[in-house]
Amino acid sequence: MTPSTPPASGRATMHDVATHAGVSLKSVSRVVNDEPGVSAALGERVRRAVAELGYRHNLAASNLRRGRATGAIGMLVQDVSNGFCAEALRAVEDRARERGIVVMAASSDEDGPREREVVAGLVARRVDGLLLMPTSPDLGWLAAEIDAGLPVVAVDRRPAVPEIDAVVVDNRGASAEAVGHLVAHGHRRVAHLGDDSTIITAAERLDGYRSALRATGVVPDPALELTGLRSREAARDAVLALLDLPDPPTALFAARNVICEGAVLALQQRGLTHRVALVGFDDLPVAEMLDPGITVVTQNPHEIGTRAIDLLLRRLDGDTSTRTTEVVPTSLIRRGSGEIAGPDGARAVGA
């Protein structure tokens, strides 16, 4: 059969490719869907026709014919502009690309109604699965979709329901390590600067702060526990207010990266960067360039994102094993700000 000329106008179809290549429609379908058993010569013939006609394969339609959804997954993060979220999202995109899967991403802005609205939109578009940084640990509103077979993996935040897989870090343990580090350097007036305590990660870090103080014989002072700090500016103002107390803190634990930035600004404004110790949770792009460098609990958002999508892909591939929670390790990176000695001096050798 002699190949025909390309269509004069309009978007090329699979039928056009078959006619142009002089092969059957089934042959074209097997090539564009990467099915086995296609000879090299036939594959090359079809791919040449695809290129000449500018054909674009309709992956969604193909997946629907196979009983699958759209070849896309949804990912809802707290804020795509946040460094932690952006790095986790990039890891997900890289792994998804290897499987020919498209990632639809959006921000929740810690807004429950917005979260539900975005998820409803993703589900309406028939995403194969969902990666979610939950605004709250209660995901009961997703029960119907989960019962209907939608795989869901919670990222960074532990859900309250056991039916959902999760990839998290040990926020309590990591925060306790950070605060214990400050106490070991002679600080007993350690302030906690946290996000909204209704957020599960913020609540866990506050709990870790309190447990570390109690474990070292320090009675937590409610006046030094500040939560609901949603921006760098709010954190800066909170630290300035703490520094004006009759008995101000000698050390700060900033339980989120943007909060740590605000704490740095406040200490710089007061000229106290070498006198008040500081440990942050999550790294900062400029942490090593400041004087002193900022001591931080660092997570690995790339590994968190990679593990999350790998877990989701296993579910999409048919894994029906018991739901699991994977815990990614954190590290305390000592750069100087967390090693400033307090009034009691260092309490532990090599702390």
Higher pLDDT residue, 24 or 241? 241
Q: Which of 105, 76, 87, 110 is nearest to 282 (CA)?
A: 87
For 171-299, give the CATH class: alpha beta
CATH architecture of 14-57: Orthogonal Bundle (1.10)
Burial class (CB in 10 A: 0-12, 13-18, 19+), 28: buried
Residue type, 48: R
In the sheet that 190-193 helps form, which strands lie side by side, from edge to edge? Answer: 225-226, 190-193, 251-254, 277-281, 295-298, 331-333
Spell out the domain ranges in the chain.
14-57, 69-168+301-329, 171-299
Residues pairing with 42 in the sheet? none
Residue type, 1: M
CA dist., res. 94 & res. 306, Å (int): 9
Average pLDDT over residues 42-63: 76
Detail the DSSP E strand segments found in 91-226: 102-107, 129-132, 152-155, 165-168, 190-193, 225-226
For 69-168+301-329, give the CATH class: alpha beta
Query: Do the first three CATH levels of 69-168+301-329 and 171-299 match, i.e. the same topology?
Result: yes
In this predicted model, what pLDDT tens digit does every residue of 185-239 receive, in sequence order?
999 999 999 999 888 999 999 999 999 999 999 988 999 999 999 999 999 999 9
Written as one string, the DSSP assignment of 273-290 is TTTSEEEEES--TTTTTS
Written as one string, the DSSP assignment of 194-252 is -S-TTSHHHHHHHHHHHHHHHHTTPPP-GGGEE----SHHHHHHHHHHHHTSSS--SEE
Higher pLDDT residue, 159 or 350? 159
Q: Name the average pLDDT for the chain.
A: 88
CA dist., res. 206 & res. 215, Å (int): 14
Close Cβ partners of 49 (under 8 Å, ≥ 6 residues apart): 3, 17, 20, 21, 28, 55
Asked whether the beta carbons of 51 and 6 are under 8 A apart, the reply is no
Read off the pLDDT band of 67 (50, 70, 90). Answer: very low
pLDDT > 70 in the chain, percent: 91
**pLDDT at 86 > cutoff 50:** yes
Close Cβ partners of 333 (under 8 Å, ≥ 6 residues apart): 283, 295, 296, 297, 298
**pTM attached to this predicted model:** 0.76
**Which range is least confidently modeled, 11-15, 27-31, 153-157, 293-297?**
11-15
**Which range is least confidently modeled, 55-64, 79-88, 99-108, 248-257?**
55-64
CA dist., res. 243 & res. 343, Å (int): 16
CA dist., res. 94 & res. 96, Å (int): 6
Q: How far apart are the first and last CA of the chain?
A: 80
The pLDDT of residue 82 is 85
